[in-house]
Amino acid sequence: MNREALPTKLNLGTMGFKHPADRSEFLKALKKSHFKWIRDELENIEKRNVRYAALTIDLNDPPFEKNTSFRGNVERLMETLAEAADAEVRKSVVHSIYANCKALNILLNDEEESIREIAKKRLSGLTNEV
């Protein structure tokens, strides 16, 4: 599968939360992020007081300085997002090139069969192109 076609961008404006509380809970979880850039983005959204502002995160190119701790930072983010309530977020994680074994193991027990199957294939080494 072409990497360009993979759903690796999260955009709060297009995630289709079924209930306003779902979006609120997701934002609360992000506010507790270990990553300052995520907390800063959320603070900017709150300052603008835009209810449906878009917070877009490209999971294959997160805005971390590319240093020795880059991969570790991204992998911790993938592990956190692997437990998100929204299936679209979890789909993005399972397709991300930065999803590590821990994130994929979390997704092995996902409620969505398609996510479980991709996580299983990636963990078994059958495919990296999912």
129 has a pLDDT exceeding 70: no
pLDDT tens digit sequence for 59-83: 666 555 556 677 787 888 889 889 9
29 has a pLDDT exceeding 50: yes
Measured CA to CA, the distance from residue 48 to residue 95 in angstroms comes to: 32
- The predicted model gives 24-30 an average pLDDT of 74
Is the four-CA dihedral 76, 78, 82, 83 of positive or negative sign? Answer: positive
Give the 3-state secondary structure of the chain. Answer: CCHHHCCCEEEHHHCCCCCHHHHHHHHHHHHCCCCHHHHHHHHHHHHHCCCCCCCEEECCCCCCCCCCCHHHHHHHHHHHHCCCCCHHHHHHHHHCCCCCHHHHHHHCCCCCHHHHHHHHHHHHCCCCCC
Residue boundaries of the structural domains of the chain: 3-124
